[in-house]
Amino acid sequence: MHPKRKQRLIVALVIVVLSSATIGLITYALRGNINLFYSPSEVAAGEAPIDRQIRVGGMVVEGSVRRASDRLETRFDVTDFVHSVTVTYDGILPDLFAEGEGVVATGKLGANGVVTASEVLAKHDENYMPPEVAEALEKANAQGSMQ
């Protein structure tokens, strides 16, 4: 290779490596801020600030959803299967909100450990299948657990 071109190639590669390292270090330093939400374990460990706007994400615990009879208020537990956090929300929940599904709730964490949410978003998972397949899977699961 022509020495001049070789030198330019090295310069170009050094630019790429240095900028990657810079951005890598910045994102590493900011990793806590890049996370969209706190997991219930982090809330339990006291990492989430109290009385400030935060987001909590995880699965809605099966059987934990309680709706008020006279208002829109809903109360449910969000878990990462290690710890769980109770969330209350006074508003319309997204269509895909359900027990056993992922959610991200925005709100304030009270001193009592309950998050009063101002917004609840459904977190969709990566599974896509036709209804028949989902039904067949459910059936197979049910049979598996009976045996």
Partner 1 sequence: MWRIVHQFGSPPWVYRFCDRVIPWLLPITVVALLTGSIWGLLFAPTDYKQGDSYRIIYIHVPAAVVALAGYYVMALAGLVSLVWRVKLADTAMRAAAPIGAAYTAIALITGAIWGKPTWGAWWVWDARITSMLILFFLYVGVIALFEAYENKTVAARACAILSLVGTVNIPIIYKSVDWWYSLHQPASIKFTGSSAIDASMLYPLLGMIITFYALFALLMMLNLKQSLTEEYAQSAWLNKRLTA
The contact set with partner 1 (CB under 8 A) reads 5, 8-9, 12, 15-16, 19-20, 23-24, 27, 31, 34-37, 39, 57, 93-96, 104, 119-135
CB 4, min distance to partner 1, A: 9
CB 40, min distance to partner 1, A: 12
- 1 versus 111: smaller Cβ distance to partner 1: 1
CB 21, min distance to partner 1, A: 9
Print burial letters for 103-141: b (CB count within 10 Å at least 16), e (below 16): bbbbbebeeeeebebeebbebeeeeeeeeeeeeeeeeee
Query: What is the Cα gyration radius of the chain?
Result: 23
**Gap between the Cα atoms of 121 and 94, Å rounded:** 7
- 70 versus 132: smaller Cβ distance to partner 1: 132
DSSP code of 10? H
- 69 versus 92: smaller Cβ distance to partner 1: 92
**Gap between the Cα atoms of 44 and 114, Å rounded:** 11
- 50 versus 134: smaller Cβ distance to partner 1: 134
CB 116, min distance to partner 1, A: 17
- Specify the DSSP element, H or E, that contains 133: helix 131-146
